[in-house]
Structures are given as structure tokens and as C-alpha cells.
């Protein structure tokens, strides 16, 4: 798994690896160039969030409305989400975007199957 993650971020190094034959190299490269599934998930989640009534859910999330945008605190930062699906401040981290959109979409009510605690309880550390 570590090699796969490394090659995803450093695909040029695949050519330099003398331990992988050309047939396997081609198979690996074809998989590396596929679309990132996280982009599709972000698009789907942000679409769902853009249809929600921010006024109705802001209180459930411990947030508020400013200039028509939902403002919430997450990971010790204030983020605003607009109907245009843009998160501000911009985060290049796809996992952060997924977390934010999921958090808003579920209105912080979804439970984690691993520990049984409601997602809402994570507000304390967010």
C-alpha cells in the first residue's frame, strides 16, 4: 500500500525502478492515470450540500450564516461554504473537502460504525 501511495504522488519514479519489468510498469501506469475517485465524491457531496437550507442547519452544526454562506469551525479553522460549492479558505486537501461536505450533509448526526459515537461528538475536537 505504501508503494502504491508513493507512486500515485511520484509516478515519474516508476520509470526509474529497475525491479519492475516493462509489462508490469505499463499495467501500473494505466491504473495511476485513472481519475481520482475522490473528485467524483466531492462533486456528489457538494451537490447535495448546495441544495440544503443553510439557515435551517447552521445551528445543528454550531455554525452561522455570513454573507449567505454557511460558516462552520472544523479542524480548528473557520470554513465557509456557499451555494457555488466553493469552500473558503480554499483547501487543496481533498480529504478535508470530503470531511466538510459530509459533515454538513449529514448535519453532524451520522454515527461512526467503528465506535458507535455520533459524528456530533467530534465537534469538541473540530
Q: Looking at residue 33, what is its pLDDT?
A: 58
User: What is the number of other CB atoms lying within 10 angstroms of the CB of residue 48?
Assistant: 13
- Give the orientation angle of helix 94-105 with respect to helix 37-50, to 10 degrees: 30
Beta bridge partners of 111: 118
Query: Taking Cα atoms as reference points, which of 102, 112, 106 lies closest to residue 45?
Result: 102
Question: Domain residue spans in the chain?
Answer: 2-32, 37-124
Q: Looking at residue 10, what is its pLDDT?
A: 63
pLDDT tens by residue, the chain, 126 residues: 566 666 666 666 667 777 778 888 777 777 765 667 888 999 999 999 988 999 999 988 889 999 999 999 877 889 999 889 889 998 888 888 999 999 898 875 654 444 443 444 444 444
* Helix (H/G/I), strand (E/B), else coil: 111: strand
Amino acid at each position: 500500500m505504501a508503494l502504491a501511495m508513493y507512486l500515485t504522488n511520484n509516478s515519474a519514479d516508476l520509470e526509474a525502478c529497475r525491479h519492475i519489468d516493462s509489462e508490469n510498469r505499463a499495467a501500473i501506469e494505466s491504473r495511476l492515470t485513472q481519475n481520482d475517485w475522490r473528485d467524483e465524491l466531492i462533486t456528489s457531496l457538494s451537490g447535495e450540500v448546495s441544495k440544503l437550507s443553510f439557515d435551517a442547519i447552521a445551528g445543528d452544526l454550531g455554525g452561522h450564516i455570513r454573507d449567505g454562506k454557511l460558516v462552520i469551525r472544523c479542524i480548528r479553522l473557520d470554513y465557509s461554504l456557499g451555494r457555488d460549492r466553493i469552500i473558503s479558505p480554499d483547501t487543496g486537501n481533498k480529504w478535508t473537502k470530503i470531511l466538510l461536505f459530509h459533515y454538513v450533509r449529514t448535519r453532524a448526526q451520522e454515527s461512526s460504525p467503528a465506535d458507535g459515537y455520533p459524528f456530533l461528538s467530534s465537534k469538541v475536537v473540530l
